[in-house]
Amino acid sequence: MQANEGKWDRIIRVILGLVLFYMGNATLTSPWNYVAYVIGLILVVTGLIGFCLLYSVFKINTKGS
């Protein structure tokens, strides 16, 4: 599992993930809150580890050389 996310990609993922995670976790009353919660969690985890499975499937690499 080789990192395929660049610095800015990871920063944006973590920030956006935290926002979605907070919005989804604030009130878990509607199905959209659960969706925001799960997507936020996925974005935070992939941003922290620097690897995205979808990037590897579609052969995308934002890390550069």
> What is d(CA 39, CA 26) in angstroms, rounded to the nearest whole number?
14
Distance CA 26, CA 9 (A): 26
What lies within 8 Å, CB to CB, of 13 at 6+ separation is 5, 43, 44, 46, 47
10-21 per-position pLDDT tens digit: 999 999 999 999
pLDDT value at residue 44:
97
Length reported for the chain: 65
Banded model confidence at residue 65, pLDDT cuts 50, 70, 90? low
* 28 pLDDT higher than 80: no
